[in-house]
Amino acid sequence: MTQGFGDRDTIYEDIDVLEADVGKYKPTDLPEREEELDKIHMALRPVTMDGSPRDILVYGPTGQGKTAGVQLKSEQLQEWANQEGVQLEVIHLPCKGADRSYHVLTRLVKELREVRKGQGVDEPSGYQRKRLFEMVLDELETIGGTVIIILDEIDAIGEDDYILYELSRANPDDVKIGIIGITNDLQFRNNLDADVRSSLGQREITFNPYNANHLQNILARRTAQALRDTHFEDGDEDFTHLKSDVLEDGTIPLTASLAAQETGDARQAIELLSYACDLADDEGVGMVGERHVRAAKEEIEREALIDTIGAETTQRKIALLTVVSAELNGATGETTALHQLYSDLCEYIDANELKQHTFREKLNDLVHSNVLSKDRHGRGRGQGMSNMYTLAGDVNPDSVLDALEDDSRVGHIVEVIGS
């Protein structure tokens, strides 16, 4: 019988604090980003002097606190404005999924209209972008005061930087506007139109990757709020002052070092620890240890792999299956041998069979997705070179088979290969 909800004691005091999504939990303090926050502060401060905020471009790899930092500073400014009775609106516009300036403009019109009319306004459709931009200006002038527009993940617009160009030159009446662009795409930043760069990029704030110490302290602060019997001693909120009855000593250091080894991404570190805590809580052991962190890492990687493979085409899935099969049977991963096996599998499931050179392209696509590794090696004296394909270092063959099993056609042959 499965356990009932609420049957068991929990290690959590406030489980949502271990949510990595900035929409679900907002840290009130980012001490690792003091310098960067000071720069954002400096760019926003003119608002307190009845001046215009400076435009800024916030740049840095993923999970470095860019959004959290910009949100924190803009909320502080909003608090000041509310206290002082100053008219200030902060619009946070996630641009993910908006593949052109056009889509960002329609979203922006909607958001600005919602400032006046409340939630539920539709995005305008069927207008030219020039007209949409005029709508943006009209709305800004109607709102008045100061409007700060945060364009998060602005790289989504690709090479079409029309909106940034127009916004950075706009001079609407009776309203001061400030643009904060956030991106983790270095190429996007470098490709911006020269005028846009000289405006937005003049105040560029870079968030460099966290190291393991930073991540330990970030995780310590999160756990002190999220877990029971976990708190700081002597008033210092860093890892060395953390005391916990539910965390083994090595749990946070291991989580931080695994995340630091990869990209220094705080989101990844928080997600890993949160998963480890869930595993321990589910087991009902009352203590989160290194084994939970390792198990969580394996599970997160397995899920990511299943997503990657699930999104592949049938032909790539069959190609992948040939490599797994070769590995499980101790056979060679050389292209010709794999192609022979591929032909048999295609016949078995009645799939269209590709010639060897096209089949090799499918294998190379899988190398690009980091599912396979490729090695060139000599066939023997005077016989030229050949490619050898294997599963990439951290890819587990059983997880690959699990992922392939979900495919309605390829799934039929997985059983045969795996047995």
What are the start-end ranges of the H helices in 227-355?
Answer: 251-262, 266-283, 290-310, 314-328, 335-349
**Residue with smaller CB distance to ligand ATP, 112 or 218:** 218
Nearest in space to 407 (alpha carbons), one of 319, 312, 338, 302: 312
Contact 246, 292 (CB under 8 A): no
H helix count then E strand count, the chain: 16, 9
Our finding on whether 184 is near ligand ATP (CB under 6 A) is yes
Which parts of 186-215 interact with ligand ATP (CB under 6 A)?
A: 207
Whose Cβ is closer to ligand ATP: residue 26's or residue 379's? 26
230-232 and 145-152 beta bridge pairing: unpaired
Is 400 a binding residue for ligand ATP by CB under 6 A? The answer is no
379 is in an annotated binding site: no
Taking CB under 6 A as the criterion, the residue among 18, 43, 59, 63 binding ligand ATP is: 63
Q: Is 210 annotated as a binding residue?
A: yes
Regarding 218 and contact with ligand ATP (CB under 6 A), the answer is: yes
User: Other CB atoms closer than 10 Å to residue 37's CB: what's the count?
Assistant: 21
Q: Which C-beta is closer to ligand ATP: that of 96 or that of 131?
A: 96
- Quote the least distance from Cβ 162 to ligand ATP, whole Å: 23
Near ligand ATP by CB under 6 A, which window of 56-64, 173-181, 246-254, 378-386?
56-64
| Alpha-carbon span 27 to 71, nearest angstrom | 10
Binding of residue 272 to ligand ATP (CB under 6 A): no
Does 140 help bind ligand ATP (rule: CB under 6 A)? no
- Asked if 62 interacts with ligand ATP (CB under 6 A), we say yes
**Residue 36 within binding range of ligand ATP, rule CB under 6 A:** no
For 93, left (φ over 0), alpha (ψ -120 to 50), or beta? beta
Cα-to-chain-centroid distance, residue 410: 30
**Residue 376 φ/ψ, nearest 5 degrees:** -100, 135
Query: Which residues participate in the annotated binding site for ATP?
Result: 210, 222
Under the rule (CB under 6 A), what is the footprint of ligand ATP? 20, 22, 27, 30, 32-33, 60, 62-68, 184, 207, 218, 266-267, 270
